[in-house]
Structure 1
Amino acid sequence: MSDRGRISTCKSRALLTALLACCLFVQPAFATGWSLILQQSQIGLALPDVHTDDWQITGIRADVVNSVEADNRTITVHFKPRSRLQVASLVHDAAGTPTQLDNVQVDLADVTLTINLGGTGSLADRSTIAGQVVIDVDQLQHPQLKPQGWRFEGTVSGALTDLNLDGQLQSDSGLVADVAIRNVMGEFLAARIAMDVAGKNGGKALADTLAAWPELLELTAGQIQAAASLRLEPGVPLVLDGSANFDGVEGLIDRTAVTDLSGRLLVSLDDGALTARFRDVTVGQINSGIGIGPVRFLADYRALQTAPFAGVLDIQQAAASFLGGRLRVAPGAIDLAAEPWTLPVEVYEVSLERLLQVYPAEGFSGTGELTGRVPVMVSADGIVVEQGKVAAIAPGGLLRLPAQRLQAMLGSSQTMEQVVDALQNFHYSVLDSTIDYDNKGRLVLDVRLEGENPEVRGGQPIVLNINLEEDIPALLTSLQLSGRVNEAVTERVRERLQQSGQEAVP
């Protein structure tokens, strides 16, 4: 800049500073009408840090290019291009949940500041701001979010003590949300956020934004419309109301494929209490190797904000189609804090024929329907089943199990040879089984069969007691590799087996 330019800028600064001082502090001297227009000035100011109970703002600097119109009633400042407010660090800590914004830059190029000289109240009360604004944050840090940059584009309006922001917020990962914020200084901060997440790209943006997003959860299709309203007041817990509408959502949870998830989730947080309501939730299929679905679910969940995963789940409806029959969890309340908690799964009219069809062993076939009850106990150590009961519905049915497979499963003793012979064509009237499952994945079936094989012992009645064991994780891996889920799950299983040095053979 030339010496003349520097002198002109200094004069503009001095003139504007003197004008503001006179207008604000010696206003009675200008009781008669007057006016002033300053076409353009450039000001650079380093402002003092702000420290309050909840807010810590440091490194504040304003670099503005503006024009000023003033008279004995108002001062109007029009900010021009290259007008910018910068903050090195902004920290808000409410109820032990800190939020930090680093290197905040506010573009004021289309903003107008109006100061009412004749009004009552503080200078901030009498100063209003309006216009388009762009806010860039190099990095936002919050316990619920992954650290990254954010950008806001929208409008600002209102008094400095009652400020409104309305526009669109976007993260570096691509998550986009419509936001409306109102901050009444010293009283409350209220916000409404709405977003529409669609398809695989939307799911990835959500995963790259939320800190609690499970690593092995992937959305591949469908739409999620989410909205939330929140309110913060000094010394008062956060109040929040939110909702999420799911429409045809599909994806993967570890090695499980989920298709056609639809329904609503309503969430509220008030006075330290968290409430979630699941409404009209349906899932086309949940498939880890054997498909379950359609699924219908209706429930309420209540917990303390300080222990969100140790609340009470009140189930009104939980039912699913399964192998020609259905599974159901009886309505009731489950205390997730009382480990192990039990999920009582009731089994109705499951087709034995279809069950044997999905079992990865050629030649197994049968008829009949199964019913029973399986208490599934869940804890931090995993899933356990003790003394589940499943039995065939009268009048029974038919079992045909190939000899070679049975010998591999049961052994080759003389007693087992008789069992193998009988099960080549076994007409059963009774099939009772006890189910036990440990947290290592070992399933134990104690099966009691009553019936006859017309080709063995002249068709005389036979009673068989058989003990079977199955490695369920290995069984599911085999089913997943066989392509019975989808290619994405099969690929995940192959990658995991390669990482562990095992062969991916169905």
Structure 2
Amino acid sequence: MILPPPRSPASFFRALWFCLVAVVAGALTLSQANATPWTFSLQQGRMDLALPDYEIAGWKATGIHADIVNSVEASNKQVGVTFRPGSRLTIARIARQSGSTPAELIDVQLDLADTEVTVDLGAPGAMPERTRISGNVRIDVAEVRHPSLKPQRWWFQGKASGTLADLELEGTLNADSGLTANLVLRSGSESNFTADIRTTMAAQKAGEALAATLLNWPELLSLGNGELTLQANLRVESNQPLAADAWLDFKDVSGVMDRTALTNLSGRLLFALEADTLTAALRDIRIGEVDSGIGIGPIQLLADYEANPAAPLRGQLSVQQATAEFLGGRLRVAPRTVDLSNRPWHVTIDVYDLSLERLLQVYPAEGFSGTGSLTGRIPVAVTDAGVRVDQGALRAVSPGGKLIMPAERLQAMLGSSDAMELVVQALQNFHYSVLESTIDYDEEGKLALGLRLEGENPDLRGGQPVVLNINLEEDIPALLTSLQLSGRVNEAVTERVRERLQQSGQEAVP
């Protein structure tokens, strides 16, 4: 019997099953169901077959071999085959023959033990429609090779049910990395194929498994507490590109990305792929805190994203909500759309009621204190070289407040020249009515503040009005390193900073 070549990936599994059934049914073929009645019984048969290579919609399977131990019950109405332990179909290699992304499956083994196949010889329709399969199935792939995956063993264990024309495989997909998922494969026709994937894993285990599975998993990303749930549906239809939709749920997930700690991430991330459009959506996203030295949070996000699948990171990001609590106040990004294909990206952050007292508490300089709150706007530009701020502005909310800055610290920051003496004296106990500051930040991490203060020190010159203009500079990466070493951030962040300083020969002292 000559089998027609399968016309799509959906028909691959049916073709493998069908070639086995055809070996048995071919020997018993009758042209009419109403032929002279006959029966046939084989309690213990064995076949060792070398099968021809198959090319399947751009894929080629080579080195196909069937080692079958079975029992057969046949008549002029139907053929029933039960595969016994030891029944196995092996394929040395399945490789993609077309497309720009290479992929290979090495040493594929299909264990057929205790699987039953029934062929109804009397029913109308093509052979796949008259061939029913049921039983346990195990598919073992010694190595999967793909540019985005680390080579390793994968295996599927579950049950097969249905006809060759409408076949379903349901079970569990596993990898040596520890990645595991419930999987349902359905082939409704020669050109219709769907896959449903669902998994729930502890965040730490999922992070370790993904790091051992994906070649491009960020090296410095590690997940800790919490839980991840993924559900995805993939669809292939005749002459149509792959379509998919998926959602990923986060439940109280914590982790560390490089030198930033994240805690209590919850919410849902939605994906969809249709034709030439990739969409994603952030829904009900809430982050307890993001901490690189100064904590920001809770954070709330709501956004949509759309891109061409050929350039997934160069799409349109539409922000509906982006707010965060910060130092007793609030940060907000107004709703806007950002074109990620065109840098620099511009985002304006509005600042409300930031506490000057808390700001000075986190600054690593003893003795600084103050009262009052700040409001303003910070225009952020993301360039190819990094993050930049040009002419941001903060100002104190009326009626102002108070600043207390010890002389020794100020002299270290401003110098001990005669010109700075009045500034140092005034800021020992400065009652301000006006506090305004310009903010500039370059891609190298240098922060420049142009500070203007109006007020008085009741202990200086009888409380005469004083106007101060001060220019300050701060190395933000160095400041954050100091804060990260101070023990205020996640221990993993502190340890990473120490390791980097040791590697560079610097002293790890906050």
Normalised-by-shorter TM-score class: over 0.9
Q: Does structure 1 residue 266 correspond to structure 2 residue 270? A: yes
1:126 positional shift: 2.9
Q: Does structure 1 residue 276 correspond to structure 2 residue 280? A: yes
What residue is the counterpart of 1:146 in the other structure? 150
Say if 2:224 and 2:255, in contact at 8 Å, map to a contact too: yes
1:66-465 matched pairs, under 5 angstroms: 66-92=70-96, 96-184=100-188, 186-465=190-469
Structure 2 segments unaligned to the other structure (5+ residues): 1-20
What residue is the counterpart of 1:5 in the other structure? none
Say if 1:23 and 1:117, in contact at 8 Å, map to a contact too: no
**What is the CA–CA distance in structure 2 between the aligned matches of 1:211 and 1:72, rounded to whole Å?**
55
Say if 1:245 and 1:265, in contact at 8 Å, map to a contact too: yes
Q: 1:72 is aligned with what amino acid?
A: N
Say if 1:224 and 1:247, in contact at 8 Å, map to a contact too: yes
**What is the CA–CA distance in structure 2 between the aligned matches of 1:444 and 1:34, rounded to whole Å?**
95
Q: Residues 110-137 of structure 1, C-alpha deviation per residue, up to 9 Å, x if partnerless? A: 1112222223444344333221011111
Q: Does structure 1 residue 472 correspond to structure 2 residue 476? A: yes
Q: Compare the two structures and name the one with the higher strand fraction.
A: 1
Say if 1:38 and 1:68, in contact at 8 Å, map to a contact too: yes
Taking a change above 3 Å as real, the CA distance of residues 146 and 19 of structure 1, as seen in their structure-2 partners, is: closer
Moved over 6 A (4+): 16-19
What residue is the counterpart of 1:55 in the other structure? 59
1:96 positional shift: 4.3
Range 86-95 or range 298-307, more displaced: 86-95
RMSD over aligned Cα atoms: 1.9
What residue is the counterpart of 2:508 in the other structure? 504
SS in 2 for 1:497: helix
What residue is the counterpart of 2:3 in the other structure? none
1:412 positional shift: 1.8
Q: Residues 386-440 of structure 1, C-alpha deviation per residue, up to 9 Å, x if partnerless? A: 1101111111111111111111111121101121111111111111111111111
Q: Residues 219-271 of structure 1, C-alpha deviation per residue, up to 9 Å, x if partnerless? A: 10101111000112354221111011111000011111111110111111111
Say if 2:448 and 2:474, in contact at 8 Å, map to a contact too: yes
Q: 1:190 is aligned with what amino acid?
A: T
SS in 2 for 1:474: helix
1:30 positional shift: 7.9
Say if 1:225 and 1:244, in contact at 8 Å, map to a contact too: yes
**What is the CA–CA distance in structure 2 between the aligned matches of 1:137 and 1:210, rounded to whole Å?**
17
Say if 2:33 and 2:76, in contact at 8 Å, map to a contact too: no
Say if 1:281 and 1:297, in contact at 8 Å, map to a contact too: yes
Q: Residues 25-75 of structure 1, C-alpha deviation per residue, up to 9 Å, x if partnerless? A: x53598121111101011111100001332211111001111111100111
Range 314-323 or range 156-165, more displaced: 156-165
Say if 2:251 and 2:266, in contact at 8 Å, map to a contact too: yes
Range 491-500 or range 61-70, more displaced: 491-500
1:202 positional shift: 2.6
SS in 2 for 1:355: helix
What residue is the counterpart of 1:491 in the other structure? 495
Q: 2:261 is aligned with what amino acid?
A: A
Identity of aligned pairs, percent? 57
Q: Residues 120-166 of structure 1, C-alpha deviation per residue, up to 9 Å, x if partnerless? A: 44434433322101111111233443322111110112333432211
SS in 2 for 1:475: helix
Structure 1 segments unaligned to the other structure (5+ residues): 1-15
**What is the CA–CA distance in structure 1 between the aligned matches of 2:497 and 2:223, rounded to whole Å?**
18
**What is the CA–CA distance in structure 2 between the aligned matches of 1:266 and 1:36, rounded to whole Å?**
55
Q: 1:283 is aligned with what amino acid?
A: I
Q: Residues 295-316 of structure 1, C-alpha deviation per residue, up to 9 Å, x if partnerless? A: 1111111111111111111111
Q: 1:271 is aligned with what amino acid?
A: A
Range 364-373 or range 226-235, more displaced: 226-235
Say if 1:95 and 1:237, in contact at 8 Å, map to a contact too: no
**What is the CA–CA distance in structure 2 between the aligned matches of 1:29 and 1:227, rounded to whole Å?**
46
Normalising by structure 2, report the TM-score.
0.92
What residue is the counterpart of 1:23 in the other structure? 28
Say if 2:33 and 2:77, in contact at 8 Å, map to a contact too: no
SS in 2 for 1:289: coil
Taking a change above 3 Å as real, the CA distance of residues 369 and 22 of structure 1, as seen in their structure-2 partners, is: closer
Q: 1:278 is aligned with what amino acid?
A: L
1:490 positional shift: 0.7
Taking a change above 3 Å as real, the CA distance of residues 22 and 154 of structure 1, as seen in their structure-2 partners, is: closer
Taking a change above 3 Å as real, the CA distance of residues 380 and 237 of structure 1, as seen in their structure-2 partners, is: farther
Say if 2:32 and 2:122, in contact at 8 Å, map to a contact too: no
**What is the CA–CA distance in structure 1 between the aligned matches of 2:496 and 2:239, rounded to whole Å?**
48
**What is the CA–CA distance in structure 2 between the aligned matches of 1:232 and 1:346, rounded to whole Å?**
46
**What is the CA–CA distance in structure 2 between the aligned matches of 1:151 and 1:325, rounded to whole Å?**
52
Taking a change above 3 Å as real, the CA distance of residues 209 and 33 of structure 1, as seen in their structure-2 partners, is: same
